[in-house]
Amino acid sequence: MKTTLYPLLMGLLLLGATACEEESATPETQPEFFVKAQKAGQAWTVPGSGVYVRTTKKFHVYGNQNQANMPEAYLRLDFEAPTQGTTVAAQAEWLELVGGDVIVDNYSTTGVAEPSSVEVTRLDTVQRVLEGRFQTTLRRDQRWSTRGELLPFSNGSFRIRYTVVQ
């Protein structure tokens, strides 16, 4: 009896182990509205949102990082409303937070020689959806370090639903 149960148990264990491997090998699904880029050379994809401010005619795009094993943070891109297919200069900022409102680190475009840019590839003012590509390099704020570390975001893209405010 022992010899027939042993192969059966081993087979079940192996089947369970390969099932776990297959589950972990499946890629994470991208949210419908997202911001993604190569952040410091690593793939980075997070949920995205945005705001259009009528009085300043500026878009603010947010990539909200709130995932396990990563610090709570967000990337903000600010730029004037361009016509579709044109590239515009942008300001950008990276904030790391604790408890949702205490800033513990930040990077911005202040003091960076290479300008940040955004290209709008789709603007749907009825559905309020904005899509585009971006690139930016941010410098760590002197408040957190005097070495001026850089944080590059390359090959960036986004699809966000935005709200309109006055």
Is the predicted pLDDT of residue 102 greater than 60, yes or no? yes
| Mean pLDDT calculated for residue range 143-159 | 92
Using CA atoms in the order 80, 100, 72, 165, what is the torsion angle rounded to 10 degrees?
A: -20
The predicted pLDDT at position 99 comes to 85
Is the predicted pLDDT of residue 16 greater than 50, yes or no? no
Q: Where are the domains of the chain?
A: 29-165
The SS3 assignment for 23 reads helix
Q: What percent of the chain has pLDDT over 70?
A: 83
Under 8 Å between Cβ of 116 and 77 = yes
Comparison of pLDDT for 124 and 114, the residue scoring more: 124
**31-40, 94-103, 118-127, 128-137: least confident range:** 94-103
Would strands 72-80 and 102-108 be described as parallel, antiparallel, or unpaired? unpaired
Under 8 Å between Cβ of 95 and 141 = no
Is the predicted pLDDT of residue 126 greater than 90, yes or no? yes
**What's the rounded Cα separation, in Å, for the pair 58 and 49?**
14
Please report, in angstroms and rounded to a whole number, the separation of the first and last CA atoms in the chain.
Answer: 78
pLDDT winner (highest mean) among 34-43, 75-84, 94-103: 34-43
The predicted pLDDT at position 146 comes to 83
The burial of 46, by beta-carbon neighbours within 10 Å (0-12 exposed, 13-18 middle, 19 or more buried), is given as buried
